[in-house]
Each structure stands twice: as structure tokens, then as C-alpha cells.
Chain A
Amino acid sequence: MASVATLAPAHEVAEAALAASRSAQCVVIVEEISEAEVRFAVNSVTTNGVRRDRRVSVIAIVERAGVLSSGVATRSGSPDIVELVLAAEANAASAPAASDAAQLIRGMSDADFSLLAPETDLSILDGVLGSLSGAFDRARSSEITLAGFAQHSLATTYLATSSGVRRRFVQPTGSLAMMGRGADGRRSSWVGVGTEDFVGVEMETFESELRRRLEWARTSIDLPAGRYEVLMPPSTVSDMITRLYGTATGQDAEDGKTIFSKKGGGTRIGEQLSTTAFDLFSDPLESTLRCAPFVSTSSSSSEISVFDNGVGLERTSWIKAGVLERLMYHRAGAARSNAAFAAPVDNLILSAPGATASTDEMIASTKRGLLLTSLWYIREVDPATLLLTGLTRDGVYLIEDGQVTGSVNNFRFNESPLELLARASEVGKTERTYGRDTGAYYNRTAMPTLRVEQFNMSSVSPAN
């Protein structure tokens, strides 16, 4: 990886900001981000980009008559540190007592805190780029048009606090996604993968799966709207379940305005959500899905607090054996609600005990149903039921007697992810996946294939 060290080392910036601080307590977060990407469409590379970003956030914590308030300021690049600290302190001075106030944690130093941040560049995509010309040639000869996107980023977080915390974490994030469309406009399919480093990501494997699905689509079948048995492969399960995760905020549930609100007050923690013994959890140490093992945030919200910066993150069970176990609370909120602290973690895993079937095995055991390989434009319709609407895209297939017999027109669906868990009649093995709709925001997920009865296809979409 190339490195052009034209900015001061991140750890020195963090220390300088702490030194300039005049507030009672101070938190500094420096994020070093480098990114590289290539886009392609109409069987040609179209655009590309490389960039280097640095964001410096200072959180000033002031104490007035024993009450804590916080103020935040963030600047990119190489900011005037004194101006930045003063801006954060001015914001803290204007702020009322913080409802999320808690004591900063002490200690915890990473030995690599003073190391420079690694950078990525386009060379990490050489394998993809080297394969694209051949892939485009093969696509043209098959009257297929390819489009897609490959990207890689390295984000290094430096967290330093006036209470002695010095943490550093390097988060690699990559993805490759590609869709193919037949010249007749009737056939299309999509495949995508999340990766840390593109090791083992073979374009040939991608092409092969894309072609398998396009072959399935040689036969087109028109079906009406209605309720169908469906198989949802891991990527589409990820697109729905990450929406559930995004709603799992304890305070919102207590306020009575989410699917996790208990009628009459409180939350549904402890309630059985599904008869299948699903486990939905996050774990910073999960292999291939590793993510930051400590809280790092430059702004507070109902589930995360700037006062919690540096607090360790561990495996968190959101649903255990089908029972809602945790909702997200920062430390102050957890104390107020007599709940467990649970901050958002940047990965998500859904599994069921003993589930080992592959998607192909589940296809083989299907009498009649739809295979949904790609969902799109998913939005919340009703917060009370977490009803989501969205569309199928680039890959709905009919399964009959264990075989895929053709592609089916697209549908608009209306479904709730919690209902999908409740109605799942079979669960496959859990594997790393990448959601078409949400993968750009939830890169690190592992999900099983689900068989769901009575999936609500609300109307037919003429899009193809």
C-alpha cells in the first residue's frame, strides 16, 4: 500500500488536541480513511476514484455545579487544533446538562496507538481489474451486459481521552457486486460479496454464479401478486434483518413507538419472538467479520453516547433462542431504565442451532416456491409492525419439484422482518453475505437462507 505522509501523524494530532483542551474532560477521535473504487457498466469500466480523508473530532466535557455537559466539533484534514478545541468547548458551554452523562472510562491503551495508518489504493483491485476485460468479452459474445462496483477502504480510528484511554483500530472494508442483463431485457441476475482484502474473491466464481442464474432465466414465467412460499438466501435475509437491527433502540421502544414497544409501557425484552430458536448477535471478534472492539462515536443519540467512548464491546445477543434479549442503550440510558448497556456493534449474525442446509439443498427440497435472490428499495411503512415495503430485482425464480424452472416477474412486497423470523419454517447454514440494498452500510453480516411461508407479494412490478 502506498503512503504519502503529508499530514501530521494521527496520534500526534490526538495528543495535541488533548494538550490544548481546557475543559474538565476531553475525548479526541482521529479517523484516517483511504478508499479506492472502480465502477463498470455497459460492459466497460466507467469511473474510478482514490481518496484520502482524515476527520478530527474533539468532544469537550465541562462540569458546572456537578453537572456534565458535552460539546463536539469535527474538522477534516489538518485543522487548526486550537480553533477546533475552542469550538468544541464553546458548544459544550452552550449545552445544557447532558442526559447521557457518565464518567469516562480510564486506562486501556493499545500498543500500536502511535503507528501510522495503513492506506489502500487501486492496486488492491488489480485482480478484479485484470479479469474485467475478459469478462466483458465473454459477456458481449453471450449478449449479456455487465455492470458493477468494486471498492476497498481502510479506516483507522485513533481514540484518546483525558482519562488515559489510547485505542487504535484498523477496519478494512471491501465489496464486489455485479449484475448481468440479457440483451432481450428479460433476464437479469446479481451477485455480491463483502470482503476485508479481496483474498479469495475470484471474478470467475462471480461470473459462474451469474451465468447459472441467467440460464435459469431462459424461461420466463408470469405470476400474479399474492402470498407465496419463498426461499430467501443470506443476502436478502441480511437486507431485512439489518432493518430490524436498526430499530432495536431501547429508548425508542420505551417511548412506545417501535415494534419493540410493549403495550402498556416498557419494552418487549424477554418476549418470545419466534418459535424457531434464532440467535441474532454481534461480536467484534467474529472471524472474517471483525470490527471495532470499543465504542468510538463523535455524536450522541438515543443508543450511543460520546461519554461511552472507549468502553469495550463484546459479543451481544440481541435475540437468543428466539427471545428478545437486548436492545441498544448507552450507559446512562441503561442505568435509568435498569437495562443492560448494549452499544451498536458493526457486524450482525443470525443463526439457528443445527441449521446446516445450503441454499441449493433447500432448493432441492422445495415442492413449489419462489427464490428471491435480490431485494431493493426497502423502506419502512408502519413503525408499529415494522412493515417494510420493497421490490424484487434481478432475480426471482420459480422452484418446482426441487428444480429452478424459470425466472418470474418482479414484485412489490410488504413484509415485516420480525414476521419473517416468526414464520420461518426452515433455516439454512449461516454464511457471510452482502445485501444488495443495505450492504453499503452493513458490510459485515452473516445470515442463513430462510424458508418463509405466505410471503406477501403485494403487486407486480413491470420493471425487469
Chain B
Amino acid sequence: MSSNSSLDRALVSSLSSAALERASALGASEASVRVEEIHAQYVTLRDGVLETTVDDTTIGMGVRVVNNGSVGFAATVDLSSRAASHITQQAVDSASRVASARSGAFELVSEPGHGEVNWTSPFRIDPTSVPLAEKLELLSDWSRRLLNAPGVSHVSARVLAVTEYKHYVDSSGTTAAQKRVRIHPALDLVAIGDDGDFETMRTIAPPVGRGWEYLLGDGWDWEDELARLPELLVQKLKSPSVEPGRYDLVIDPTNLWLTIHESIGHATELDRALGYEAAYAGTSFATPDQLGTLKYGSSIMQVTGDRTAEHGLASIGIDDEGVEAQSFDLIRDGVLVGYQLDRSTAAVAGYNRSNGCAYGDSPLHLPIQRMANVSLAPGASDGPSTQDLICGVERGLFIEGDKSWSIDMQRYNFQFTGQRFFRIENGVITGQVRDAAYQATTTDFWGSMEAVGGESTYLLCGAFNCGKAQPSQVASVSHGCPSALVRNVSILNARAEAGQ
């Protein structure tokens, strides 16, 4: 396994020059070229035995043009100047072919040229340069330890590692060369009871914008998590099924991040709010006419979009439309105050500048508006610990780790489960319950957030697999948040929902 890029400066320069010169000759008013190389490696072990390996490199280029008020995109894996010129012609032809079915001109808000930009995400060990044998050795060791623990029936171990080399050149004078890495290790445990019933539990270590050092202990205490996991699983299997009803919830960042992602992150994407995702990903209840007035949640709720967060999965230097990475407010004191923008949706809504949320998941896909690292701010440095929040609950549940998720197309009604639900009685954790899911409406839920934990509870979590658009694109994104106390939330019993 190796991770050196085959995209040298001279090759990128010749390809982008061929495309931009062709676009200019064809009369395109705007043109941008992305030449990218993406290394993706995936290893899975089943009960300590190697099951799957993937060692995949995608290399290609895509050209977007704006011509006579219409946009066109074409891409290829053929890295020749002839191909660069050809796909530029295809993009211009495509723009012309669909122009008669356009209503209004496709426009981009302006962005100054940024000259030459070089940016690299922070990491110590490129995860795609680590030999397969080393990955297998570590995952095998972890699997063996867990399989040897009492009560553990099966263990699946996996790690997905990605290194992206992104080159961006546009007709405004920006030439960016960027490299970023990310990694997502996870282990799933299964315990089977004497009656054949079973329970599962996954590690709650989040995916991060770090290198292989993450598995060696930088940013996560693996030894502690692996040591605790078997007993937690055995306890879960023996736990009573939850009594449905309304509970106060203390939610750990390892679970809350996903609720933020679904009910805030996607709801504050301007393309959705304007109706451009109506056919597939959906729209948003947080429509632009409510900007500045929509009471999204309680007054302690402060949410930002940020493409600069250290180790953030959506962090970058320059986005895929040549816009500088930024940090911006989405919700201030519980009120909707901003959206995530790309240059075209910003133009539609009358903004002066994009806040840098364009991303294409591959050189073969058109950049679209994708999610920044959308994060909920913690309380003060001396704010409450998670234990402090638990102490304030008479009858409730403490939730760790994400699991199942679902939300409607306007981001109102959601349902989530978790890896662990602990019962809280009179401020004390008294054991786990099984089969729990929480269900709420977005504004009700965030309006019931009574307290957030202090800085000590803050954690950057996230996902590798956020899907959006047609054709479907996948993006990685982080969400930082503290623990939070949310009052009076509906809890379902999943087995009862299944009629059992």
C-alpha cells in the first residue's frame, strides 16, 4: 500500500491549462478544473479472520463551465490534455443542450482569486501509507482481546482510511493544491444470550481528520474503550427493555452529533431551503423568510458552520469553487441567523459571497453545496460536567454512541437510537435499558435543551457517509458538541414497535 500522489505540478498545470484555454475559446464566462487523486483503503476482520480488503485509487478530472447562463459539467479518468480539452467541449455542449429547459441564468457570486494556495490537514502518519500487515496486526490483536472477554460471541473490526489530493484551478486566478487525510476505525461486538436473544455494541470512537496515529492513541483512549466494552455489552444483554414514555435525556457528544447533523446541519443548507433538493434529499422547514426570526431552540443554543476546525472531516483550505474556508454563525441564542452556501445558491438568495461549502466527492462529480463542520458550542470552561448534568435528572436516560437514525424530508420529525441507554434515577445511573429510541420534532427538541456541558465535555465527532444529491455523493463531516440535557423527550420501545 502506498500513498504517494502521481499528480505532479506539471501534469496538473498542463491539464488545467488545456481545459481553461478550451473553455475560453468556446466563450465560457466561468470555468474551473479539479484534478484529484483519492486513495481509499478498507480492511475488515470477522472474528479475527481477514474478510475484506480494498485498496482503491481514483484519479481523474472534472470541468465545470458557465456558458450563456447555463452550467455544464463533464469528467473523465483519462488524464491527457486531449481529454481535458474534450471534456471541456462536452461541458459546454451540455450547458447548451439543457439551456432551453432552464428558467433564469445560472450565476455564481464572485470570489477573488487567491493565487497559489497549498494546504494540508494535520496528521502524523498518512493512513494509506501504513502497510496492510501492520493494519491486520493491530485489528487482529484488538479482535482477539475482545473475543477472549467473557460473554462476547463475535467481533467485527474494520478501518477505513482515505487520503485526498485535491488540485483546483479556476479562471479567476486561484490554483490550490491540498491534501487531507481521514480515518474511521470501528469494532462491533455481538453477545448472544442463552435464549438465543442477542445484543450488539460498537465502539464510540468517532471518525476524525487524523492519520494512523489515531489508532495508536492520539485523540482517543483505545485501551480504555476496549477494556470497558465487553462488560458494557454483557450488561446490556441482561438489561430490562425500556418502558416507553417521556424522559429527560442527558446525551453524550458521541450520540448528540448525529442529531445535530440531521436536524441542524442539513436543515441549514441553503440549496435545500430553496427547493433545489426537493426531489431527493429534501427541503427544510427553516426557510429563508424565517432568517433572523425562527426560534430554533433554547437561548443557550449557539451553532456554527466551520470549515477550519482542526481535525474536522469537512475542513479544507479552499473549497471546490475556489472559496476560502470560513467559520460562520448558523444559530445564535437559539435563533436561525445563517445558512451554509455555495456560490450558486448564494447568488440565488442575494448573498454577496459564498461561505465556502462547495464539495464534490470525486473529480467525476459536480461540486455541490455540502455540509461544513456544524457544531454546537459548549458552556463555559468551568461549565457542568456530564456527571453534573446527570445529577440534575430525576427520571431520565443517559445516551452514548450513535446507531440508527431517520428524519423526514423537511427535517422536522426524527428518530434515533444509540449504543447505550443508561437509566437515571434521582440523579444517579442505575444500569442500562434495551430497545430504546428517542423521537421528537426538531424545534421541540432543541427548545427543550435546558443545559449544555462545559468545555471539558466537548468532543468532535462525525461521519464518513453523509449522502446527498443526484447522482448520489458521499461526504465526510465533523460535528463538535458538548453533553447536553434535554427535558421531556418521547422514548419508544423498539421491540414493542415491532409488535413483539
Contacts and interface: CB of A to CB of B under 8 A. Distances in A.
Q: Please determine whether chains A and B interact with each other in the same assembly.
A: yes
Given A42-B103, A299-B52, A379-B405, A6 B80 contact: yes
A380 B364 CA distance: 31
> Which of B71, B90, B93, B472 has the most C-beta atoms of chain A within 10 angstroms of its own C-beta?
B90
Contact of B1 (A91, A262, A410): A91
Interface in A411-458: 412, 414-416, 419, 440, 454, 456, 458
B280 to A, nearest CB: 7
A147 B278 CA distance: 6
Contact of A48 (B72, B415, B500): B72
Contacts of A41: 275-279
A464 B278 CA distance: 11
Interface stretch (A19-27, A31-39, A231-239, A308-316): A31-39
Contact of B494 (A54, A414, A462): A414
B203 interface: no
Contacts of A50: 73-75, 87, 90-91, 94
Contacts of A100: 51
Nearest to A2: B90
B263 to A, nearest CB: 12
A145 B54 contact: no
A178 B1 contact: no
B153 A72 contact: no
Contacts of B368: 47
Nearest to A300: B52
Interface in A177-192: 177-179, 181, 190
Interface in A130-154: 132-133, 136, 145, 147-149, 151
Contacts, number: 292
B406 A379 contact: yes
A1 interface: no
B499 A419 contact: yes
B221 interface: no
A67 B154 CA distance: 25
B133 A178 contact: no
Contacts of A206: none
Interface string B158-192: 00000000000000000000000000000000101
Contacts of B406: 377-379, 389-391, 412
Interface residues of B, number: 97
A46 B276 contact: yes
Interface residues of A, number: 103
A38 B97 CA distance: 10
A407 interface: no
A122 interface: yes
Given A133-B100, A387-B498, A463 B59 contact: no
B410 interface: yes
A73 B279 contact: no
B16 interface: no
Contacts of A145: 275, 278
A74 B56 contact: yes
A95 B365 contact: no
A212 interface: no
Contacts of A90: 1, 132
Interface in B10-52: 42, 44, 46, 49-52
A51 B57 contact: no
Nearest to B190: A257
Contacts of B74: 49-51
Contacts of A96: 49-50, 136
Given A73-B55, A122-B97, A381-B417, A463 B278 contact: no
Contacts of B196: 256, 261-265
> Which of B93, B195, B499 has the most C-beta atoms of chain A within 10 angstroms of its own C-beta?
B499
Interface of A: 4, 6-7, 35, 37-54, 71-79, 87-88, 90-91, 94-96, 98-100, 121-122, 129, 132-133, 136, 145, 147-149, 151, 177-179, 181, 190, 251, 255-257, 261-265, 298-302, 376-385, 387, 389-391, 393-394, 410, 412, 414-416, 419, 440, 454, 456, 458-464
Q: Which 7 A-B pairs give the minimum distances between C-beta atoms?
A: A263-B196, A77-B77, A44-B103, A463-B410, A461-B413, A414-B497, A147-B279
20 contacts: A41-B276, A44-B104, A47-B71, A48-B72, A51-B74, A71-B53, A71-B132, A75-B56, A76-B77, A77-B59, A94-B132, A95-B136, A261-B198, A378-B406, A387-B498, A389-B404, A414-B492, A414-B497, A415-B498, A462-B412
Interface of B: 1-2, 42, 44, 46, 49-60, 62, 71-80, 82-83, 86-87, 90-91, 93-95, 97-98, 100-104, 131-133, 136, 153-154, 190, 192, 195-198, 200, 274-280, 282, 285, 364-366, 368, 404-413, 415, 417, 435, 437, 439, 441, 470-472, 490, 492, 494-495, 497-500
Given A87-B2, A384-B197, A416-B498, 12 more contacts: A6-B80, A6-B82, A6-B86, A44-B104, A50-B91, A77-B59, A95-B50, A265-B196, A410-B413, A459-B490, A461-B413, A463-B285
